[in-house]
Chain A
Amino acid sequence: MIDKLLKADGRRLGFLAKMGDRWRAIPKGWRFAAGLAFVLLLVVLPRVQIPIIDPIIRTTKIDFTTVLFTVAMYIVVAVGLNVVIGLAGLLDLGYIGFFAVGAYSVALFGSPQSPLATKYPWLICVPIAIAVTMISGVLLGWPTLRVRGDYLAIVTLGFGEIVRLVAQNSAFTNGQRGIGNIPYPPGTWPEGGGGFLDPAWGTLPIFGSATSLGWYWLALACVILCMYASRRLEHSRVGRAWVAIREDEDAAEIMGVQAFKFKLWAFAIGAALGGLAGALFAGKQAFMGSNSFDLLTSILFVAMVVVGGAGNLAGVTLGAILVWYLPERLRGIELFGVELNTGEYRLLAFGLALIIVMTFRPKGLLPKRYRSSQPPVVAEEATA
């Protein structure tokens, strides 16, 4: 029976690959236009009731805009972790540590309640947060990236736990009481809103507590920027070095790739994206406590990259949607008379998903294809 399942799965994969080829065969201008239209759709998604699609995707129990923001923020996390796991092949189980460092940097540099009391605005805090997380990534990577891959997983797990313990117990981060009054970007909604915005928001701050729409747009912009940067990076010398290291570190070294240096880069860049996501998180929450950074969330991070398809941006996006959107959509739905308590079963479901996906499709639901295994696309030559 398993053989049959595997065969059917192979057919599905073939179909996916064919769709990908067709997409790539479309002229570049059309692809760009389609992408733009899709982004526009995402921009207006929370405010416009699109027929047919809307009742399917809108969450019923929780504010849809907030859910969209959360998903976008975790897509940034997924893109960052994808650099580490998907491209460089380093299993980082403590990625939440970088997320937390970014969030706490914003809280510490921005909030009037923090012992630093620098009270920088949010926009200045973000580059600081990214710099601090990059440094923490290098500091963690320096001693540990020389060790074997499977040890790295445990050491990073330890890092995540240490960050949480420090946040929880040190006086500097205000312990379990946390830090409040975290700054947010400036700007207010225009009055009226022209039918698109809610008139009730009139002249309220865009990034205030009235709506998550501003945060969602900001996070969406971050996602697009990070994906673009990640793509460019992947096709650069650095990206090729990462793939070479992931496939065979010794062979890469022999070919002149300085494995340690590039692994450290992967760590630093991945950490920076985690820090950016953390900065978004801190600004949106406006309050920073240590409870948001437990290790199980870190395992969910890994799950979204691995289940979705490590190395493939579409894959990790799918993973983020599965992990963070699906449970919210299913929350409160009654199935056979039992109300689904998705928050409670999320970890169980993704634990199972990790085993099943790894067994049947070790490269994730939307696997990355590489040029070597790809037949030349004739159609692309003809249209170009």
Chain B
Amino acid sequence: MHFDYWLDNFWSLSVGGLTQGAIYALVALGYTLVYGVLRLINFAHSEVFMTGTFAVIIAWDMLGYDLNAQRPGTGVVIALLVAGLVAASLTSAGTALLVERVAYRPLRRKNPPSLVFLITAIGASVVLFEAVGLLTDRKLKGAITLVQPKEVFSLFGASVDNVQIMIVVAAVVMMFGLEQFINRTRLGRGVRAVAQNPDAAALMGVNRDRVIMLIFMIGGLMAGGAALLHIVKVGSAQYDVGFLLGVKAFAAAVLGGIGNLRGALIGGLLLGLAENWGAGIFGTIWMNVVPFAVLVLILMFRPTGLLGESMGRARA
């Protein structure tokens, strides 16, 4: 127990936690969307994120900026970030759609108990990360440091650098965009309708299969964004990166109230904070225990999460 360490470094731990939490939040969105509509945990979503991280690095490699390349000027950096985002989003969304097509759709027709979906999702997850593991020889793949962390301002003595600001701002902007999409557009209304009552929505002419594909795709796009931010922050990708991060993001989704978009953001940020504070108090080796402990505590005391489970405002 190092409470004095935690107090001394409170602000820097908090800033670090919020940054990591923003990434959790983006991944948590994937869980929340699928759970909100289908009422099942998309266990393979962590691998959707993982393929995104590799896509970013491979895209940069192909554009000639591999691990050993010189750091380019600002304009090129922005272009590369956009290219990475596009590559990661497309790859992640593609993976998510593939998982939906292979592991979920054939089963959905048979209407089995929800545990069956969970098991196929675990299968899909194992297949994806083992396949990537075999392709990459289970090695860490490094990326070029495009954005050098540089202190922008200091918050009560804790330095806040440009990478951290970029991650949090990007995550919040993506969340805001998604919420507008779900609440304001025609497609979003379809998603909410299916989440609220699938049968009634189908009778009203909403194509359920298309909505399901849409949410898997959006979840993949968000995971792709998270993958880019993760690469900018951590600088490397590995085949098993998704496993722990996925469980943590799921814990974040449950913390905020699974099925609730704003809940994913709040849950992600809080979980990031809790994790970093826990690491400060108990030591970094116990960092990965914190999300699980949080998960058990929420399920014991408030199983519906902080904001309650609902997709958008529609659910009364």
Contact = CB atoms under 8 A, between A and B. Distances in A.
Interface of A: 89, 91, 93, 143-144, 146-151, 153-155, 157-159, 161-162, 165, 168-169, 295-296, 299, 302-303, 306, 344-345, 347-348, 350-355, 358-359, 362
Contacts of B153: none
A164 B123 CA distance: 22
Given A299-B126, A348-B134, A352-B127, A158 B110 contact: no
Nearest to B289: A162
B158 interface: no
A146 B302 CA distance: 12
Interface residues of B, number: 41
B106 A159 contact: no
A161 B288 contact: yes
B118 to A, nearest CB: 6
A169 B295 CA distance: 21
A355 B247 contact: no
Contacts of A303: 123
Given A359-B106, A359-B107, A91 B126 contact: no
Contacts of B116: 358, 362
A162 B126 CA distance: 20
B292 A161 contact: yes
A355 B303 contact: no
B250 interface: yes
A159 B247 CA distance: 12
B155 interface: no
Contact of B115 (A91, A144, A155, A353): A91
A50 B110 CA distance: 45
Given A143-B296, A158-B292, 6 more contacts: A89-B115, A154-B247, A344-B134, A351-B122, A354-B122, A359-B106
Interface string B114-141: 1110111011111100110010000000
A153 B299 contact: no
A323 to B, nearest CB: 13
A246 to B, nearest CB: 9
Nearest to A347: B130
Contacts of B41: 150, 153-154
A169 B284 CA distance: 11
Given A165-B286, A295-B243, A358-B119, A150 B126 contact: no
A143 B299 contact: yes
Interface in B267-297: 285-286, 288-289, 291-293, 295-296
26 contacts: A91-B115, A93-B122, A144-B299, A146-B300, A147-B303, A150-B115, A153-B41, A155-B295, A158-B292, A161-B244, A161-B288, A161-B289, A162-B289, A165-B289, A168-B285, A296-B126, A345-B134, A347-B130, A348-B131, A351-B126, A353-B123, A354-B119, A354-B123, A355-B103, A358-B107, A362-B107
Contact of A91 (B119, B130, B244): B119
A149 B114 CA distance: 9
B102 interface: yes
Nearest to A355: B123
Contact of B247 (A91, A157, A347, A359): A157
- List the 8 shortest-distance A-B pairs measured between CB atoms, nearest first: A354-B123, A158-B292, A351-B126, A351-B127, A348-B130, A355-B123, A169-B285, A358-B120
